[in-house]
Amino acid sequence: MHALKPVIGNWYRFTDGDVFEIVALDADDGTIELQYYDGTIEEMDVEDWNGHCELREIETAAAPEDWTGSVDVDAEEDANADGSWRAVNGG
């Protein structure tokens, strides 16, 4: 089985259901930093990643519909998320 390549910004999930995003890769240390939807950050060795992949315990996943679960965004910022001039300038 060919291991999934961890890519910063991509979302994956463990087959037990935990969804996470790759937020950092450190080639020198051989580590991958995962951030779960609830904001929890975990570091994993590349060897562990490959082992999980070989056991088919990790698969690609779509980003959660409400990606703000792990990000500190207040309601006003979220209301203006479309970024239009009218929304930003109150018009």
In tens digits, the chain (91 residues) has pLDDT values of 567 999 999 999 999 989 999 999 999 999 999 999 999 999 999 999 999 999 999 999 999 887 665 555 555 555 555 554 455 555 5
Task: Kindly tell me the burial class for residue 49, based on how many C-beta atoms sit within 10 Å of its own C-beta (0-12, 13-18, 19 or more).
Answer: buried
Q: Any idea which residue has 């698969």 for tokens?
A: 59
Amino acid 67: pLDDT: 61
Pick the CATH number of 11-64 from 3.90.930, 2.30.30, 3.30.450, 3.40.50: 2.30.30
Task: Kindly tell me the burial class for residue 31, based on how many C-beta atoms sit within 10 Å of its own C-beta (0-12, 13-18, 19 or more).
Answer: middle
**Domain positions in the chain:** 11-64
